[in-house]
Amino acid sequence: MRIGINARPLVADRTGIGNYVHGLVRLLPQVAPEHDYFLYSNRETFVEWEGADVRSRIDRWFRAIPGSVWFFGRGREFARLDRLDVLWSTAPVLPMGVPAGILKVITVYDLVWLLYPETMAPYTLFAQRVFAKKAIQNADKIITISRSTGDDLIRILGVPADKIHLVYPGISENYRPRDRVQAAEYISRKYNVPLRYLAVVGTVEPRKNLALLVEVLRILKCSGALDCPLVVAGAKGWRNTPLFQQIESAGLTEREIRFLGYLPDEDLPFFYAGARLFLFPSLYEGFGFPPLEAMASGTPVIASNGRCMPEVLGEAAILLDPRDAVAFATWTARLLSDENLCRSLGEAGIEQARKFRWGSSVKRLLEGFRREAESHGRIALKI
């Protein structure tokens, strides 16, 4: 079959969604080489292929247009040109006027635009409200990355359960246990941070709830239990001025909190593995790559207990109310002083992370395509 893919998330400096799409797309030709694959984007994409025969169409004339708007307006032309059997939009947006007979598949990562709209940048919120609901209604199949997101689609938007197909992400083999001292030394040399540090990964924006961690640091500093800084790896998002004002008001300096900005893929595994603890108090996630990547690296994790976190992290992490700074501070102090508990959590985290493999995820994705193709009388995909 001929499968077209919205490859817009595969541009440089990928984060969660881009990593999910990359993990699936790069293995599709390897798992199912009998099909024809077409990648569509209005900017250059970056995928590590392994001898794959994939056609990539870069619509450079429209590179200045935001991804959702571009795909909505131009996706139909590519689908028609390449005579697709399946059009997979890796974002919750479908082109207008997709030719009849083409299976329309979208991926929905979360419903933050409905549940926590105040945590989104204005343009992103506007784009989601304009495109997502209509795409959810018109899609033949919806891929979700957690059962939690599927349940929200059913409960909030009334989506039929048989329209939803769960495809968990996988975790890259680059995230694995390493010598913690050597990993910390590498990060310390390259980024000038202490050898002993707490870690958090995520865009600096309200939804990631870094304000809670600032309060945690203040509590630990006042009680004399803070002997290492929190190091934040992630690009600056929107509305972060109040966060930096809070840091100043709390009397925290670079001795207590450091911002590294976006870390390249080659450094993240060492950043996770070198950390004493990984903290993740996010208010809402569709899946949550960072805590699972930290667990795969053998680092103990304290995370929020909201939405998908219990589903993804199981019993291998300390899960707490993302609004309870005292609980986060208490558990952080306990783990910093209890090597045995850290070791136990680290081992449990490694086992939990092993449940998520990209090979299995790709097969699940193709299974979703196959079922929908069969229900529409199309030729079945061989898996």
For 27, phi and psi rounded to 5 degrees? -100, -15
The predicted-structure confidence for 142-201, as pLDDT tens digits, reads as follows: 999 999 999 999 999 999 999 999 999 999 999 999 999 999 999 999 999 999 999 999
CB 350 within 8 A of CB 186: no
- Nearest alpha-carbon partner for 331 in 273, 321, 195: 321
For tokens 């930290």, the residue is 294
What pLDDT score was predicted for residue 52?
63
Q: How many Å apart are CA 273 and CA 298, to the nearest integer?
A: 7
Tokens of 51: 């001898």
pLDDT of residue 111: 94
Q: With bands split at pLDDT 50, 70 and 90, how would you rate the model's confidence at 216?
A: very high
What confidence category does residue 381 fall into, taking pLDDT thresholds of 50, 70 and 90? Answer: very low
CA 331 to chain centre: 25
- Is residue 285's pLDDT more than 50? yes
Contacts of 116 (CB under 8 A, 6+ apart): 207, 283, 284
Query: pLDDT tens digit string along 146-163?
Result: 999 999 999 999 999 999
Residues 6+ apart with CB under 8 A from 186: 270, 274
pTM comes to: 0.92
pLDDT in tens, 9-52: 998 778 889 999 999 999 999 999 999 999 999 999 888 765 56
Alpha helix segments (H runs only) across 227-338: 241-249, 268-274, 289-296, 309-313, 325-336
* Residue 57 CA, distance from chain mean position: 25
In order of start, what are the domains of the chain with their CATH numbers?
2-170+357-375 (3.40.50.2000), 180-353 (3.40.50.2000)
* Contact present, 58 and 43 (Cβ < 8 Å): yes
Which residues are CB-contacts of 122 (< 8 A; sequence separation ≥ 6)? none
Hey, what are 220's tokens? 């630990």
Q: What is the CA radius of gyration of the chain?
A: 21
Strand partners, 250: none
Q: In this structure, are residues 358 and 173 in contact, taking their beta carbons and an 8 Å threshold?
A: no
Measure the CA–CA gap between 18 and 332, rounded to whole angstroms. 31
Q: Which pLDDT value is given to residue 330?
A: 97
Share of the chain above pLDDT 70, in %: 97
Give the residue among 231, 198, 177, 223 at the shortest CA–CA distance from 332: 198
Which tokens in the block code for residue 95? 């082109």
pLDDT at 380: 46
pLDDT at 227 over 70: yes
Q: Over the stretch 67-84, which tens digit does the pLDDT of each residue have?
A: 899 999 999 999 999 999
Q: Which of 22-31, 49-58, 197-206, 231-240 has the lowest mean pLDDT?
A: 49-58
Say how many C-beta atoms besides its own lie within 10 A of residue 222's C-beta.
12
The DSSP-derived string for 173-188 is TTS----HHHHHHHHH
Percent above pLDDT 90 for the chain: 79
